[in-house]
Amino acid sequence: MVGMVASTDGPLAVETAGYSDLAARRPMRPDAVFWIASMSKPFAGTAIEMLVEEDKVKIDDPVDKYLPDFKNLWVRGQEDGGRLLLHRPQQPITLRKLLAHTSGLVVQGALESPRVDRLSLEQNVRAYPLEPLQFEPGAGCVYSTPGINTAGRIVEVVSGMRYEEFLRRRLFAPLGMRDTTFRPGPEQMARLAKSYRRGAKETLEETPIEALSYPLSNRLRGVSPGGGLFSTAADLAIFCRMILGGGSLDGRRYLSLPRVKEMTSIHSGDLYFEEGRTDSGWGLGWRVMREGKGPDGPVSAGSFGHGGAYATNMWIDPLSGLITIFLVQRADFPAAGRVGAIAAFRRAASL
């Protein structure tokens, strides 16, 4: 693992443990590159808020204003005699609902299984309206990577740039995030932390990233705003420092404070995406704590962040002024149970 604690002033501590390649006995390095999976989602929220700031979109604009394919949606109803009944939605899907997981879009698009990067972002998003919504927009909360991908496609339509190019020009390059990318190059591949799952007799077995196509450096791989980025602890800390700083870093402003506050406030209301888990809600691409406790260690009410499918995690606590970055490549998370080291790491960081 790689663990980093930072504040708005910069990194406070970084530690590594174990190996990035067990077979080669290659020790983990602080600059190891990780697939951060759903930790990509806050970048989509940030990109949309940049366009809101420029008055190019509004957070409550209907999606079909930018993507006409979404004008012809159906909502899944009850089954009647073995037939599935559908009806037209009473409310439109808006950008807010996309980013707060209340759109009704499915958890994963039909064309994105088992690989999310076989097609272009435009092709994947055009297929989403062909599937009925799970519920009336705004009436439920279901974690939806297609919702975030749709927001990313709107970034493309409005900006006139490919999504990855927008992030590179507007965030990664000016912030100095040199290792954050959808397609790692040769030098980054040399630092890639390999992924593992629990094998027989508590051993670890190396496994490819099942959601992605190989080679990972292939420039033809599609882009998934909801889960396709690779990054390092140092790069993620830079991004989090900017957000913790109210949208500015090192004298340069990327977002206004009102946009940051909007993005990191709860927009899912009293809806809960996970049965029995009421400790948090959804901002615009961010998970936000309703109360000062959770399964991943001590946090404050109002703190926010995001995790990834392979147990990566970044968290920002405005009350303490601390950022925690925890990176591993655990392929069987969360099926094999939560990674208790995340909670232990946060406890140590808060002392």
pLDDT digit string (tens) for 36-91? Answer: 999 999 999 999 999 999 999 999 999 999 999 999 999 998 877 778 899 999 99
> What DSSP element (H or E) covers 3?
strand 2-7
Kindly tell me if the per-residue pLDDT of 274 is higher than 90: no
Structure tokens at 303: 């703190």
- Residue 51 corresponds to which tokens in the numbers above? 């366009």
User: Is the dihedral angle over the CA atoms 185, 186, 187, 189 positive or is it negative?
Assistant: positive
Which two tokens mark 321? 């002024």
**Can you tell me whether residue 232 is helix, strand or coil?**
coil
d(CA 146, CA 101): 9
Torsion of CA 180, 183, 187, 192, to 10 degrees: 80
Please tell me the distance from the alpha carbon of residue 105 to that of residue 101, in angstroms, as a whole number.
8
CA 178 → CA 231, 246, 252, distances in Å?
9, 22, 17
Calculate the CA 10 to chain-centre distance.
23
pTM above 0.85, yes or no: yes
Q: What angle do CA 164, 167, 170 make, to 5 degrees?
A: 145
Phi-psi region of 335 (alpha: psi -120 to 50; beta: other; left: phi over 0): alpha
49-64 residue pLDDT tens: 999 999 999 999 999 9
Token representation of residue 98: 């996309």
Q: Which tokens in the block code for residue 172? A: 């990664």
Which helix (H) or strand (E) segment is 154 a member of?
Answer: helix 145-159
Quickly list DSSP for 238-298. HHHHHHHTTSEETTEESS-HHHHHHHTS--STT--SSTT--SEEE-SSSEEESSS--TTS-
The span from the CA of 102 to the CA of 141, in Å, is 5
pLDDT of residue 347: 84
Grade residue 291 by pLDDT with cuts at 50, 70 and 90. confident
Compute the distance between CA of residue 340 and CA of residue 218 in angstroms, rounded to an integer: 34
Mean pLDDT value across residues 108-132: 95
Task: Specify the 3-state DSSP secondary structure of 341.
Answer: helix
Helix (H) or strand (E) holding 340, with range, is helix 340-350
Nearest to 137 by CA among 84, 80, 74: 74
What confidence tier does 273 reach under pLDDT thresholds 50, 70, 90? low
Q: 313, 231 in Cβ contact below 8 A?
A: no
Binning pLDDT at 50, 70 and 90, where does residue 296 land? low
Question: What is the model's pLDDT at position 229?
Answer: 98
Q: Which region holds residue 158: left if phi is over 0, alpha if psi is between -120 and 50, else beta? A: alpha
Q: What is the mean pLDDT of the chain?
A: 93
| Overall average pLDDT of the 18-30 stretch | 97
Q: What is the pLDDT of residue 339?
A: 62
Report which of 148, 154, 100, 98 is spatially closest to residue 122, judged by C-alpha positions.
154
Task: Report pLDDT digits (tens) over 183-227.
Answer: 999 999 999 999 999 888 878 999 999 999 999 999 999 999 999
**Position 27, amino acid:** P
Q: How far apart are the first and last CA of the chain?
A: 20
Convert the pLDDT of each residue in 215-259 to its tens digit.
Answer: 999 999 999 999 999 999 999 999 999 999 999 999 999 999 999
Tokens of 159: 């900006």
- Please report, for residues 109, 168, 272, 314, the alpha-carbon distance to residue 287 in angstroms, rounded to integers and kept in the order given: 22, 24, 11, 11
Query: Please, what sign has the CA dihedral across residues 79, 84, 89, 90?
Result: negative
